[in-house]
Structures are given as C-alpha cells and as structure tokens.
Structure 1
Amino acid sequence: MFHDNNEQRLIARLRNEAGKLHPHYVGFDGAMRRFCDFMPDGLRGNTNVAMERTYKVDAALALAKVLPLDAAMNASDDDAQRVAHARCWINLLSQFESMRLKDVLNGSNGGAFLRSAARFAFGDFADGGRGMDKAVQPHGRISWPMATYFPNLWDFQQHMFLKPLVTVDFSERVGHHFHDDYKAEINAQTYESLLDLVGATRAAISSLEARDNIDIQSFIWVVGKYEDDDVKT
C-alpha cells in the first residue's frame, strides 16, 4: 500500500505503478541496457557525442548567436527572418515541420511566434503555447516538435524537445504516466508531464551522468528508435 499526504504525488505514484502492467514495460533498467547496447561508452562517450549530441549543441549555439532567449521576448519579424536563415535547423524536426516553421518565421506572424516561444521558455506554457498555435494557424497545424524546438535550443538545461510517438512509447516502456497525459494539442498539462518524465529519467539513469536535456532526449531516442544498423562497429 502507498501512503502519501500529498494527493497529487500519491496519484502520480499509483499511475506509475500501474504503468508497470503495460505489455511494453521494461523499466528504466531495461531501457538502460538497451541504450548501452547501442552506446556502450554511455552518454559521455564518443559514439553518443558524435551521433546524438554535437550537432544539437551547435544548433543551440547558432540560435543563441542570432537571437538569444532574452531578446526573443521582443522579437520582431526581421528577427524571425534571421532565425529562419540561421544554421540552427537540424533533423529533430521533420522536413515538413521545418518547412512550415520557416514559412511562419518568414511571414507576418514570425515575430509573434518567437515572442510566444520565448514566453513558453520562461515558464508560461499555457499562454506561450496558445500564441505559437495562433501564429502557425494560417500555415497549417502546429505540432509538439514545432512548439518545443526553440525553447529546447534556448535552454536545454530546463526544456525538453518533444517527439510524441517515441516519447509516448518510452513512457510506456519505463512505466511513467506521460502516455496517459499526452494530448496532441499544445497545452501546459502535457508539457508539465513531459518534464516530470524527464526528471524521473534523469534520476533513474544517474549513473550515465546526463549533462542536460539534450542527453535525456538522446537517451529516449536511442532507446525507442535505434535499430541494429544505426551504430556501426
């Protein structure tokens, strides 16, 4: 039996325990074994750094050079066009998501999108999410990768890039309740649950010494998406 005077914490613990009944459950220990099958030298080893880390850090540095987070709170449409042409675009986004987001940044809502993304990065997930959604609407639907791309690059110590399918699958495998909380529309509750998953993952894989959420995202991606041919020995 679980006992906890904090009702919300108790509910989260019970939901995580229920997750262990999922047919895909392997737990964090199983996830670590799978990660180490592909990255035997760990998160800080040369293989992971070369394949999963360096290009993401480079993209973050490129974005910070063109438009740091503090400046993004007052981003103009001209700023947005500079970001659209900066060397901060990597394969975290699909080709279609990159094209759509660049269309937004090159259009009349570019500055508004970046200002909303900055509000999101400063912790206003609800209003920031609504603002990004509104800015994207003339160009199509927003996605979680589009919404979390810039906040993650601006501050990868605090923020997490969300690739929904692989992250939902990962949460099922490790028994976290994120897969129950996930909604496709941009909302604060889903993102807060994602950050809870990030924290739980960081604690569970502490022996791998994750430096930041780039490493956590890489861990989730390798566990969920890597196949035998992805790493050549």
Structure 2
Amino acid sequence: MKKMDYKKGERVKHPGMPEWGLGKVLEDRRDDKVCIFFTGEGRKTLSLKHVEPLKISGAEAIHPVLDHLWIKEGGESKYQSLQTSKELFLKDYPDGFYDQAYLDGERNGKVAAHELALSLIGPEQLEALLGQKNYEEICKRAIKVVNATKLIFPNEKLALRNGLKDSKNMELFSKNLYHLLYGKEDVAERFISFAKTLEGIKVGKWTTLSYFLFIVFPEKYIFLKPIVTQLAAELSAFEIHYRPDLNWRTYQSVLDFSEYFRSELKDLRPRDMIDIQSFMWGIGPNK
C-alpha cells in the first residue's frame, strides 16, 4: 500500500494524539519520516511506518499560530503550548485577570496611569495647549504620564527628559504626540511619523514609541517591550518580524500576536491590552 505524501505547509492532525492539536508540515516528506509542528506539542518528527497524520483542510485548518508560525533557527526550541502558558500564569494568579494579587501588582497601577493620561493629554487638553503654543507644558504632562508606570526603563525616561529640554524638540514632540493619538490619518502613518520624531530627538526606542498609544488606548494598542515581547513570541512560536529599528511591520505583527492571545484567552476574560501585556510577561519561565 502506497504511503501518503506530505508537503510543506499542509495542515494535519495526529490520529492517536488529539491533544496535540492542529499541525503544520514543516518539510516535504523524506523517506518514511515527516516533520510537523503541532500547536499543543511543538515540533515532532514522525515515522510514517507507525502513523499517518490526517490531512486537514478548510476552516478546520485555520490557526493563528500556524498562520504566523516562527521557529528559531538552530538551538533548542523554547516552545510551550498556550495551555502551558495559561497554567504558568494561573499558578501565580489563581483567579487570573481578576486575582487580587494581579490587580494590586500588575493592573491597577496601569489603569491609574491610563486615567492620568486622559486627564493630562486627552484631545481637549492637547488642543488647548497647542492653541496656546504651550509646548513646554505638553512635554511636562507627557513626562508625568511616562513616570506614572515602570514600563519604560529609567535611562530611557532620562533620555526623553533630556531630549525635550530643547524648545524646537518640545514643539516637534508636542505636535506629533497629538497627531499620533488623535490624528485622522491611518494609524500606520501616524506611528511612523512619531517614530521619526523620537529618532530625531535621539529617543527612538520601542518602549517610548508604543507607550502613549497603549496607555491612552489600552483597549486597542499594546506596549512593546522588546525582551519580554520577543520571549513571549518565541515561546508561542508566533512570528512578529522583530527588528530593533522602529517600523510598522513589527508593531502590526505584535498587535496580531496580542489579538491572538485576546481571542484564545476568552475563558480568562481579559479586559484590554493591559491584561494581555501582563500575560505576555507572566508566561516566561524565568520572569
């Protein structure tokens, strides 16, 4: 009897291991072996002498991780299933996103910073200050919002303060902060424009760039802390196209990654990206 052929990219399931979930063929079949990545188990090399994975198509073959699959070249994979990640998070916070320790240690401070941001750099406040050309006050308020959390490293906060001592930088930053948060153009255009502004005053960091969107609109945008985000993506085998230089593709990919978590964690009832960002931090084995 002829053995079934398997091609790179095909979706399959293991007939005897349903808990392994949906799989993606990583390489064309070689002799009697096929290499497959399973969402519930990670990378596996199967002998076709003992098992023939079932090919899956249509809607059943769709999975966010497999659609954005990334496996680090060389070295041992750090992959852990979503179930394992949830168990790690719940070990620290048994009641999940509603655990009192989580609220006190992770969420409440960020919610307070969000409320502060709305009161200091909301659209009406910024429009009034821009009308007065009071760029110094806008910068003071922005720095106060930054200092309301520990999300941005102290040295990066210092760099921002130093960069905003120059009057031209104050004006440029103030106008582009308003444009980023409340402009009418597509968010990608506003994002890139603000990135160029930060680079121009020598504070072009992912943390500073993503912070304001996150803290003002936590229901929609994520905070990108490179080490934490890259580790969470590697653990989840999710391609985020990370580059250290500021670019929209990376941030859009991190948004996709965040939406994957928000969708798959419905049973934990995440409220917004504050919860998702905390989950990313909480699933690392050595956090």
Q: Same fold (TM over 0.5)?
A: yes
Aligned equivalents of 1:225, 1:105: Cα separation in 2: 38
Q: Which has the higher contact order (CA 8 A, sep 6+)?
A: 1
Alignment of 1:91-170 (within 5 A): 91-107=150-166, 108-121=168-181, 124-137=186-199, 139-170=201-232
TM-score by length of 1: 0.81
Aligned equivalents of 1:27, 1:78: Cα separation in 2: 48
1:205 counterpart residue number? 265
Larger radius of gyration: 2
Aligned equivalents of 1:225, 1:115: Cα separation in 2: 41
TM-score by length of 2: 0.67
Q: CA deviation at 1:134?
A: 3.4
1:186 counterpart residue number? 246
Say whether residues 1:83 and 2:137 are aligned partners: no
- Partner deviation per Cα, 1:53-82 (whole Å, 9 max, x = no partner): 111111111111111146547845134233
- Partner deviation per Cα, 1:92-139 (whole Å, 9 max, x = no partner): 000011112223344332343244344444574443334333333454
- The 1:69–1:100 alpha-carbon spacing in structure 2 relative to 1, beyond 3 Å, is farther
2:15 counterpart residue number? none
Percent sequence identity is 23
Alignment of 1:41-52 (within 5 A): 41-52=95-106
- The 1:37–1:101 alpha-carbon spacing in structure 2 relative to 1, beyond 3 Å, is same
Are the equivalent residues in 1 in contact too, given 2:81–2:236 (CA < 8 A)?
Answer: yes
Give the SS at the match of 2:246. coil
- The 1:35–1:185 alpha-carbon spacing in structure 2 relative to 1, beyond 3 Å, is same
> Counterpart of 1:116 in structure 2: which amino acid?
N
Give the SS at the match of 2:144. coil
Q: Which has the higher helix share?
A: 1
Instruction: List alignment gaps of at least 5 residues for structure 2.
Output: 1-9, 12-56
Instruction: List alignment gaps of at least 5 residues for structure 1.
Output: 228-233
1:57 counterpart residue number? 111
Aligned equivalents of 1:213, 1:139: Cα separation in 2: 28
> Counterpart of 2:237 in structure 1: which amino acid?
G
Aligned equivalents of 2:140, 2:78: Cα separation in 1: 44
Q: CA deviation at 1:191?
A: 1.1
- The 1:121–1:27 alpha-carbon spacing in structure 2 relative to 1, beyond 3 Å, is farther
- The 1:103–1:50 alpha-carbon spacing in structure 2 relative to 1, beyond 3 Å, is same
> Counterpart of 2:258 in structure 1: which amino acid?
V
- The 1:111–1:71 alpha-carbon spacing in structure 2 relative to 1, beyond 3 Å, is farther
Aligned residues: 222
- The 1:153–1:13 alpha-carbon spacing in structure 2 relative to 1, beyond 3 Å, is closer
- Partner deviation per Cα, 1:9-68 (whole Å, 9 max, x = no partner): x89764544549971110211111111111112111101100001111111111111111
Aligned equivalents of 1:185, 1:118: Cα separation in 2: 23
- Aligned CA RMSD, in angstroms, stands at 3.1
- The 1:70–1:128 alpha-carbon spacing in structure 2 relative to 1, beyond 3 Å, is farther
- The 1:184–1:44 alpha-carbon spacing in structure 2 relative to 1, beyond 3 Å, is same
> Counterpart of 1:146 in structure 2: which amino acid?
T
Aligned equivalents of 2:246, 2:187: Cα separation in 1: 9
